[in-house]
Chains A and B, each alone.
Chain A
Amino acid sequence: MIKVINRGLFTTVQDFGRENYQEFGVPFSGVMDRKAATFANAILGNKPNAAVLEMTMLGAKLLFTKPTLMAISGANMSPRLNNKAITINKAVAVNSGDILSFGKLQKGFRCYLAVLGGIKSNKVLGSQSMYSGITKTYVLENNDELEFDDLNTSFKPAFASIKFNDAYLENPNINVFKGPEFNLLTKEQQRQLLSQEFSISKDNNRMAYQLNEVLPNNLKPIITSLVLPGTVQLTPAGKLIILMRDCQTTGGYPRVLQLSEASISVLSQKFTQQKITFNLKY
């Protein structure tokens, strides 16, 4: 198993979340950056949606009590195994008693740790993704224990040579569709939305990313309607709120833009004060 010695800033178990319970008001949840989690799993020959640990800004300190193979992808948080630097985006052998720790955040914001066969934890409503009110706890705490399969000694990393292109971690371009209420904006507001540089507010988490700059507007609230991760809402005060994986299933603010699925991964690697621009691609 993996024992959590230090939980880091915000570490959770995540897979691809819950698609089948939207009608009951249950959020999707799931890894914020699907690209990185998929890659970490691919290195080990896991299914793309095998459960991983998602670490935000500051990594956890973890003790392995049995051997396995692991892979780390996404943000580079200077990982160390038994205090020796290790390479990310590559399979790494782990022995019983090894300690994985992280240091300085070099690039990106969210880092994924996959182990051979995936993290084993209880499935609730078809997913292992942690979410308050659905799973017993919503974030890992010190001394928590996580199970994984015994090492299959015949394992050969099938994708040992695949390369991870991490340029997206620092890409400021967020590709978008027009949201259902986009056309209610004036031409000038549309122009501003699609040309201005925006910066990420300190209010950014798994539920939503808010932006600092406001877009003054006279749009009225809409009759409560449907949203998805990646929906950009505009409040009467002009605040732009980009919904992320843990967002509610419905919302009443006008939806001015919708992020492409790949851009949700790009945005989830951004943090407070970083700049983005919306790029109308579709």
Chain B
Amino acid sequence: MSYNLTYKQFNERSILIEWPKTIDEDILNDVLQFKAKIKASEMFEITVIKHAYQSVLIQFKNNIADVERLITTLKSIYQSEKEIISFQNKIWKIPVCYDPFFGIDLAHVANEKGLSSETVIEKHSQVTYKVYFIGFLPGFLYLGGLDEALETPRKATPRLQIEKGSVAIGGNQTGIYPSNSPGGWNIIGQTPINFFNANKSEPCFARAGDGIKFIPVSKKEFLDIKTLVKHDVYIIESEVIND
């Protein structure tokens, strides 16, 4: 599938490529394919290449001399079909304790949606969410796939501090706070897993295109896993996605 893309110069040495303005897994796959093709082409000296839902931004080492020529080159890379790059994507199983001790807004969400807390947990943990990209905070995953029945508006007044690991719902999105930070989402649980480690050369285990599945655990299991994580000996369960 080929989309109608737009190319815009962003600054002296950067270019922005945009897909149609929708959040969609097919678009994500196309974004990741094009990004991989650009990297593999080795036609440019690139210092930064990053993507979001429906865009890719490339920053080159040197200023762009001829933007029209550059766009023509990028278009030909996009159209080249010889090598479809395959990714080794994984589904990560993330333990989450939905106990009200952590899930301080679970009752609110349940009430708001006219569901029992158990149903909220069930609906939240039965989906495999798609990682679209990482942004907002180091290690914050933008996830797609939240059940519409769980969509809950953000809180009118954000909390000044949300605890690291908090699993939350904000509007039609769900996510995990990778560090202590202010935030306005509804907190329904907490995971003991670290989503960002600045001391590792690969600071995040999850990548765009991966899946995230939340596994409900008890408070006791949460604390046990937290101890293992603290000593860096917890291995996150995962399985390779077969296309």
User: Chain A interface (Cβ within 8 Å of chain B)?
Assistant: 19-27, 124-125, 133-135, 177, 180, 222-226, 228, 230, 248-250, 258-261, 282
What is the CB-to-nearest-CB distance from A252 to chain B, in angstroms, rounded to a whole number? 9
B23 at the interface (CB under 8 A from A): yes
CB contact between B23 and one of A23, A223, A259 (< 8 Å): that residue = A223
**Contact (Cβ within 8 A) B203 A258:** no
Known: A223-B23, A224-B142, A226-B50. A260 touches B134 (CB 8 A): no
B14 at the interface (CB under 8 A from A): yes
**Contact (Cβ within 8 A) A134 B198:** yes
Known: A134-B198, A224-B52. A261 touches B12 (CB 8 A): yes
**Contact (Cβ within 8 A) B51 A25:** no
Inter-chain contact total with CB atoms closer than 8 Å:
103
- In the assembled complex, the Cα of A21 lies from the Cα of B202 at a distance in Å of 9
The residue in chain A whose Cβ has the minimal distance to the Cβ of B9 is: A177
**Contact (Cβ within 8 A) A25 B137:** yes
B194 at the interface (CB under 8 A from A): no
Contact residues in B for A19 (Cβ distance below 8 Å): 47-48, 59
Known: A226-B16, A228-B14, A250-B135. A21 touches B203 (CB 8 A): yes
Known: A124-B199, A223-B21, A228-B57. A133 touches B138 (CB 8 A): yes
User: Chain B interface (Cβ within 8 Å of chain A)?
Assistant: 8-14, 16, 18, 21-23, 47-57, 59, 133-140, 142, 178-179, 196, 198-199, 201, 203-204, 208
What is the CB-to-nearest-CB distance from A123 to chain B, in angstroms, rounded to a whole number? 11
The residue in chain B whose Cβ has the minimal distance to the Cβ of A23 is: B50
- In the assembled complex, the Cα of A25 lies from the Cα of B12 at a distance in Å of 23
CB contact between A134 and one of B21, B138, B140 (< 8 Å): that residue = B138
Contact residues in A for B11 (Cβ distance below 8 Å): 177, 228, 230, 258-261
CB contact between A249 and one of B21, B54, B135, B208 (< 8 Å): that residue = B135
**Contact (Cβ within 8 A) B59 A228:** yes
- In the assembled complex, the Cα of A258 lies from the Cα of B12 at a distance in Å of 10
What is the CB-to-nearest-CB distance from B70 to chain A, in angstroms, rounded to a whole number? 15
